């Protein structure tokens, strides 16, 4: 039997017109931007799938909350609303707001990592690894091997490989004391938004307890992971996503988050924990880098929007519609034979550049070239997630050559319709048919840190 169509559980009250451009115009704009989609003006973009970060449409309830911002320097009422939302929805007692996710990572890394300690992560994320390394930490990849294979259909490619953790403890000079904490992310961004299972988390938690190692989540996309658990994992089909989230969080000592994703706001982040010592240190540090511990670089109205976004994100109809839209785009590409990362993840569809443009060698930046070509074709902006993003090894200075060479089509929350998704799919399919015309690039300017943001290229 055909399942019934489910439309979005919201309607559109305000629109933001977008400019239409010609192919010639876009060819000129991408050249001027050094073939880097980060350097395009947003006005020159038709459908912006650069990121799902800070690009969500807020609800009327969130916007009305913005009018109730208490812009006091200290102790704003909105901070207490945020604290209450975090306690009720995530289940952590203490919270320190920050201006966005990487600021929470900075504070956490500085407090929790001793120089020379390992920080195992289920695959790297750019800012998380950068802050760990700045604190003297050593990144250690503990994700299952399947995650590095874009064609492997494992339903939980975000899972942690406990044998890798065990090997680290067995081989490290000071055993478990050589590890700062386990940094575990939901719906692993760089793997394509791939979830972990609750069963895996339970095992990881039991293993970590044995060695007295805390888990600190990067909970940026935890809700999307909860949806996948509800859909795919035995025993969770009838559980509300809200309850799944509470169980998930109960295995961790704390979390950092970029509220610009799950929490449905345009700016903000926080760290939350049940560890009073960590909370006290974080409060000491936040005043140096962000602002007083009851605002952490945010306006009162921003904290209100986050508090309300947290309550909205756990709605089962919302989270289903969000992830299904990503799947809707992904399915069209799969059906047309366009090489994408499978299974389709929670926030993005990722083009597999190694198979899309196999004639471009990795040192000619295939994903960067493909992202530029997609923009020229249709005005769709995407993001390189390959050799440019991976950067250089801090020890050897050599380019890191990641197995995954991807272009990310990231879907903002509650922003585009499925007709927009059809336009994106058409453009990717047309590009795939004419893929031989796409040329490699050479890098002509390379920033020292997080180079992908500002690097410039020329066509070969």
* Least separation in angstroms between CB 110 and ligand P71: 15
Nearer Cβ to ligand P71 (172/450):
450
Using CB under 6 A, count the residues that bind ligand P71: 16
218 counts as catalytic: yes
Considering only residues 330 through 389, tell me which ones interact with ligand P71, judged by CB under 6 A: none
List the x/- string, 251-280, binding to ligand P71 by CB under 6 A.
-------x-x--------x-----------
Contact (CB, 8 A) for 161 and 142: yes
Considering only residues 182 through 201, tell me which ones interact with ligand P71, judged by CB under 6 A: 185, 189
Single out the residue of 59, 81, 126, 159 in contact with ligand P71 (rule: CB under 6 A).
126
Single out the residue of 37, 49, 85, 102 in contact with ligand P71 (rule: CB under 6 A).
102
Q: Point out which span in 25-33, 122-130, 158-166, 243-251 binds ligand P71 (CB under 6 A).
A: 122-130
Residue with tokens 């299972």: 197
Q: Point out which span in 125-133, 138-146, 316-324, 437-445 binds ligand P71 (CB under 6 A).
A: 125-133
456 counts as catalytic: no
Token pair, residue 408, equals 């990310």
| Dihedral sign of CA atoms 282, 284, 290, 296 in order | positive
* Least separation in angstroms between CB 22 and ligand P71: 28
* Least separation in angstroms between CB 234 and ligand P71: 27
Q: Point out which span in 41-49, 94-102, 226-234, 293-301 binds ligand P71 (CB under 6 A).
A: 94-102
Q: Point out which span in 96-104, 295-303, 324-332, 364-372 binds ligand P71 (CB under 6 A).
A: 96-104
Considering only residues 269 through 328, tell me which ones interact with ligand P71, judged by CB under 6 A: 269
232 counts as catalytic: no
Token pair, residue 170, equals 């067995």
Binding site residues, ligand P71, CB under 6 A: 51, 53, 100-102, 125-128, 185, 189, 218, 220, 258, 260, 269
List residues with catalytic annotation: 73, 125-126, 218, 261, 385, 452
């Amino acid at each position: 039997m055909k399942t019934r169509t489910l439309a979005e559980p919201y309607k559109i009250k305000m629109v933001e017109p977008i400019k239409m451009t010609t192919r010639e115009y876009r060819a000129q704009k991408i050249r001027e931007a050094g073939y880097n989609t980060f350097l395009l003006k947003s006005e020159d973009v038709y459908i912006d799938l650069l990121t799902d970060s800070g690009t969500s449409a807020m609800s009327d309830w969130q916007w009305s909350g913005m009018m109730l911002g208490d812009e006091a320097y200290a102790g704003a009422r909105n901070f207490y609303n945020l604290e209450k939302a975090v306690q009720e929805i995530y289940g952590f007692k203490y919270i320190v707001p920050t201006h966005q996710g990487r600021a929470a990572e900075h504070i956490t890394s500085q407090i929790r990592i001793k120089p020379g300690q390992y920080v195992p992560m289920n695959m790297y994320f750019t800012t998380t690894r950068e802050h760990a390394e700045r604190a003297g930490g050593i990144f250690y990849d503990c994700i299952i091997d399947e995650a590095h294979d874009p064609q492997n259909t494992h339903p939980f490619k975000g899972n942690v490989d406990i044998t890798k953790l065990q090997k680290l403890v067995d081989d490290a000079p000071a055993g478990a004391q050589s590890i700062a904490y386990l940094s575990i992310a939901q719906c692993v961004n760089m793997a394509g938004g791939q979830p972990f299972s609750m069963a895996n988390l339970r095992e990881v938690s039991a293993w970590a307890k044995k060695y007295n190692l805390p888990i600190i989540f990067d909970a940026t996309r935890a809700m999307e992971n909860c949806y996948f658990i509800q859909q795919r994992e035995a025993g969770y089909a009838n559980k509300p996503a809200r309850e799944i989230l509470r169980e998930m969080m109960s295995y961790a000592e704390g979390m950092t988050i970029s509220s610009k994703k799950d929490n449905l706001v345009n700016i903000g982040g926080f760290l939350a924990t049940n560890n009073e010592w960590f909370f006290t240190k974080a409060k000491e540090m936040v005043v140096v880098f962000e602002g007083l511990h009851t605002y952490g670089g945010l306006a009162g109205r921003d904290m209100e929007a986050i508090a309300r976004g947290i309550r909205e994100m756990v709605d089962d109809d919302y989270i289903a519609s969000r992830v299904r839209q990503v799947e809707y785009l992904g399915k069209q590409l799969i059906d047309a034979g366009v090489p994408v990362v499978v299974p389709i993840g929670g926030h993005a569809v990722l083009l597999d550049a190694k198979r899309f443009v196999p004639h471009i060698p990795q040192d000619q930046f295939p994903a960067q070239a493909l992202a530029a070509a997609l923009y020229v074709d249709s005005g769709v902006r995407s993001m390189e997630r390959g050799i440019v993003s991976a950067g250089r090894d801090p020890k050897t200075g050599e380019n890191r050559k990641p197995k995954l060479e991807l272009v990310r089509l990231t879907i903002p929350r509650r922003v585009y319709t499925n007709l927009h998704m059809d336009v994106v799919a058409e453009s990717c399919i047309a590009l795939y048919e004419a893929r031989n015309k796409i040329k490699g690039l050479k890098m002509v300017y390379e920033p020292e840190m997080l180079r992908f943001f500002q690097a410039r290229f020329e066509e070969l």
